[in-house]
Amino acid sequence: MTQRSLLLVNPHARRGLLAQRQALQILQPLGFELIEVSAAAPQDLSDLIRRYKTEVDSVIIASGDGTINAAIEGLLETQLPLGILPVGTANNLARSLGIPSALPEACAIIARGHLRSIDLGWVNGKYFFNVAGIGISGEINRTVSKRFKRHFGVLAYAFTAMQVLLRSRPFRAKIRTPTQTYSVKTIQITICNGRYYGSGLVVAEDAQIDDQRLDLYCIEIRHWWEMLRVLPAMLRGKTAQGIHTLQGQDIEIVTRKPRPIDTDGELTTHTPASFRVLPHALRVFVPQRRD
């Protein structure tokens, strides 16, 4: 039985053209009929998915988290299942789903056809797969150049993060859930739908992309060198002095002045912000879980 798929490839991604070749080499012999379309203009992805919705059974996107995020509205509207070929810089969505970075293995996962329903995050009308951030993450994503990311990958983020951290200043925010209110002075508030964010940091040890909750991670330090003390905890999704965490389905954040919010690596909105989780919103091809 032929599986018809819309293959959207970002030619500017670090391994975009390689992913396109390998998808053709691996999936076509397995009965996939691929309609190849460029994903060079992320703002067009949802319209492309809508255009081909009656011609395909699934959508395969070869790119990083930011470009895949741009397809969310089209995927939600059509409810076509999503296949991921992770060729971006951090690939936290693929990491949260257990999809390997090796392209032949990622293609094989799509071919096996095992689907998992995952949650989406939502903030001020914008959707996100993995993470939304307020603070230094927005400045990092605004500052790091696409050319720098293309050549140096995760190291580009690490180098830019150090530069941003050296000049960062804490800001005050109020964090509200239906049952609690917190006042914080922070350099970064991270709200995760998935398990991983940044360059593979873990938001919580038990976080999953289908756990029907958001995980908030707030860093409350005064000086940049204190980051060295909290970094080991951040790598493992642990709490520590200078870190505040909470979970919930609905979270509100208010700041004294509007502050930019990045969703899946792109600046999309600003505070005040209302966050919520949309349970089991999309289906994605993933490895089968081992009990």
Extract the tokens encoding 50.
């809508």
**What is the token pair recorded at 93?**
């969505």
Strand, coil or helix: 120: strand
Handedness of CA 120, 126, 131, 132 (dihedral sign): negative
Task: Characterize 144-168 residue by residue with b for buried, 16 or more Cβ atoms within 10 angstroms of its Cβ, and e for exposed.
Answer: beeebbeebeeebbeebbeebbeeb
- 58, 6 in Cβ contact below 8 A? yes
Q: Rounded to whole angstroms, how far apart are CA atoms 18 and 14?
A: 9
Tell me how far apart the alpha carbons of residues 236 and 144 are, in angstroms, rounded to a whole number: 25
- The model's pTM: 0.84
How confident is the model at residue 155, as a pLDDT?
A: 47
CB atoms within 10 A of CB 226: 15
Q: How far apart are CA 160 and CA 145, in angstroms?
A: 9
What sign does the CA torsion over 39, 265, 126, 95 have?
Answer: positive
Alpha helices by DSSP H, listed for the chain, are: 16-27, 45-51, 65-69, 72-78, 92-97, 103-112, 136-143, 146-152, 154-167, 227-236
pLDDT the model gives residue 110 = 95
Stretches in the chain below the pLDDT threshold 70 = 1, 14, 137-168, 221-242, 290-291
